[in-house]
Amino acid sequence: MMGHSHALSGVVGWMAIVPLVQGTEFWGVRFDLGPGEIIAGSLVCAGAALIPDLDHKSSTITQTYGFVTRALSALLNWMFGGHRNGTHSLLFALLMGALTQVLALWSPLAVQIFVFLLIGIAMNGLGFGMDKNRTAAEIINALGTAGITLALYTSGTDYSWIGLAVAFGCLLHFAGDMATEMGVPLLWPVSKYRVGQNIGFKTDGKIERNVVTPMLTIAIILLSVYLFPWREILPEA
Ligand SMILES: [Zn+2]
């Protein structure tokens, strides 16, 4: 799947799971998600849904932060055995989630920086910063990302769920890739079997462009209407 479809699936995935996990506890994380956590989670999940493609040198995420993400891409490609290999496994999702959670426990500041970077990646994936006028688009992306991160920070957004959101974002990425013809080696390195190979639609083909992307967009609109307490947010008519 293309970067923007993965990013959209991250937003939809988080929004869709909010009503299911709200008020519950999972692995010691209590889900008490307000509007801030819904927005933050959507963007974190969207960014995380691009992480597995760090193994490819021309993917959206690899292009996001210049030589930093390009170096990271080269490293991950080498560590995990090339494109659509180890970074597309359950082990990788678990690893990313655990690393993020450790980061969150270690330093609240590190989490803010990580969230900022992930939102920047998400915005890039969603289409901000990739236009013809690159410099202007990148500045708008950076400003928007900083604004969102700051707004979430000042509204006291709680990030205790961030490791789970990152792992979930990776899983959504695998689901997206399994829906295309390439398949995903979920059980790497134990098994190289590619789940979903040769079934599904073509990457960036007619179905992805004319069906998947619009459906994901509509899902975001419907879920927003459903999830946010609009009556409390909007002034009374
Ligand atoms: Zn992929």
Q: How close is the Cα of 203 to the center of ligand 1, in Å?
A: 10
Residue-wise pLDDT for 168-188, tens only, equals: 999 999 999 998 888 899 999
Residue 236 falls inside a structural domain: no
Q: Domain count of the chain?
A: 1
How far is CA 119 from its chain centroid? 9
Distance 173 CA to ligand 1 centre (A): 6
Does residue 7 belong to any structural domain of this protein? Answer: yes
Q: Looking at the domain assignment, is residue 58 inside a domain?
A: yes
- Least Cα distance to 87 among 204, 177, 196 occurs for 177
User: DSSP letter string over 174-198?
Assistant: HHHHHTBTT-B-TTTTT----BTTT
Q: What are phi and psi for residue 38, nearest 5 degrees?
A: -70, -45
DSSP-assigned beta bridge partners for residue 180? 201
> Would 237 be classed as within a structural domain?
no
Domain contains 146: yes
Residues 6+ apart with CB under 8 A from 235: none
Each residue's pLDDT expressed in tens, for the chain with a length of 237 residues:
888 899 999 999 999 999 999 999 988 889 999 989 999 999 999 999 999 999 999 998 999 999 999 999 999 999 999 888 999 999 999 999 999 999 999 999 999 999 999 999 999 988 876 566 677 888 888 888 999 999 899 888 999 999 999 999 999 999 999 988 888 999 999 998 988 888 888 888 888 888 888 899 899 888 988 888 777 777 765
Structural domain boundaries enclosing 88: 3-228
Cα of 227 to ligand 1 centre, how many Å?
29
> Is 213 among the domain residues?
yes
